[in-house]
Amino acid sequence: VRAELALQAAARGVPVLHVPGRALDTLSRGRPHQGVCLEAAPLPFRSLRDAEEPQLGHAESGARQLLWLALEHIQDPMNLGALLRSAYFLGVDRVVATLSNSCPLTPTVSKASAGAMEVFDVYGTDDLQGFLKAKTAEGWEVVGTVSRPEDVEDVPVISCSEFQWDKPIIVVIGSEGEGLSLETQLQCQRMLAIPPGRALHPGLDSLNVSVAAGILLHSICSQKQRHGD
């Protein structure tokens, strides 16, 4: 495998160096590397200006199935990588992440994403609430996520299986510990919840954020497949 990687790198003009294992340990900062490291420039978050679609009026919005994923204060690089991997696999059109109090796009994120971070642009914003408000004005629906099916600040909560995808939507996922901030909750038209399959013990009443996002996205994206798009 390593010989094949070296040939592929050489074919693309990438210099190949054979170094002791301890040098690879240093490059990977002690994380597993399987004997191969690639030194590359960091990938920055892209500007939201590059992500914008033409504005959608209400009539046009209903005819288009667009899905963006917004991430608020995701801090664990393994979770961020898993979220990007699921979003790419399931057909999410854009991923937007908060820049403050959030994990940057690191090598650990790239590895956890199984390479999705390298081929799937991630957009950053310093004003998530302003972004969501602007998209709502363009005819998009903003849906938040909660771990338990209960009303949150007067925003209705429904099971993900009951959600009907009939206009462009932004699914907003909150941080691992706190979930969505109050300010972001107030920008949502509805909240989605995943119903559990049994009565849950206290303290075991939620899913890992990347697992929950994968279930929610699959539930929504399966509607697109049924409609034959």
Note the pLDDT of residue 61. 44
Same domain flag for 23 and 132: no
Same domain flag for 209 and 165: yes
**Total structural domains in the chain?**
2
- For the residues 4-25, what does the mean pLDDT come to? 92
Whole-angstrom distance, CA of residue 139 vs CA of residue 60: 9
Domain containing residue 182: CATH number: 3.40.1280.10
Note the pLDDT of residue 62. 45
pLDDT at 227 exceeding the cut of 60: no
Same domain flag for 146 and 71: yes
- What pLDDT digit, counting tens, does each position of 113-136 carry? 999 999 999 999 999 999 999 999
**190 vs 59 pLDDT, higher one:** 190
Same domain flag for 124 and 217: yes
pLDDT at 212 exceeding the cut of 80: yes
pLDDT at 58 exceeding the cut of 80: no
- For the residues 67-79, what does the mean pLDDT come to? 97
- pTM of the complete model: 0.86
pLDDT at 87 exceeding the cut of 90: yes
Same domain flag for 99 and 33: no
Same domain flag for 26 and 53: no
Domain that holds residue 107: 46-226
Same domain flag for 13 and 52: no
Note the pLDDT of residue 1. 75
pLDDT at 65 exceeding the cut of 80: yes
Same domain flag for 160 and 207: yes
Same domain flag for 31 and 88: no
Whole-angstrom distance, CA of residue 75 vs CA of residue 171: 18
Same domain flag for 28 and 51: no
